[in-house]
Amino acid sequence: MNSQQIIQSWHEPALHTLNSLLTDRKANLRKINRDESNAMVLQQEFLESLMNYHRISLYQASEITASLVRSGRVARYGRFLQIKEGATHE
């Protein structure tokens, strides 16, 4: 298994982690009557969550994040991340 395959094997667990962070953001937006589709997570917070929940290094978390963006499953808006519509099967 090469390093690219290893990184890609982390896509689903990473998307699950990002989705749980986004769920909290959506709830916060709902409370103040804002559009939930605007929910985003700071990239740094996502990296820290990956490191804490999955016990991986910052380098690995960064590689996984970059791979998700390259694959089109996650959108990056400056320092913020958002799951692209249809990129997860909830």
For 60-83, the pLDDT digits (tens) are 999 999 999 999 999 999 999 999
pTM of the full structure:
0.88
pLDDT for residue 87: 58
Q: For the domain 3-83, what is the CATH code? A: 1.10.10
Domain ranges of the chain: 3-83
Calculate the dihedral angle through the C-alpha atoms of 39, 68, 17, 41, rounding to the nearest 10 degrees: -30
pLDDT tens digit string along 33-50? 999 999 999 999 999 999
pLDDT for residue 2: 86
Band (pLDDT 50/70/90 cuts) for residue 89 is very low
What's the mean per-residue pLDDT of the chain?
A: 93
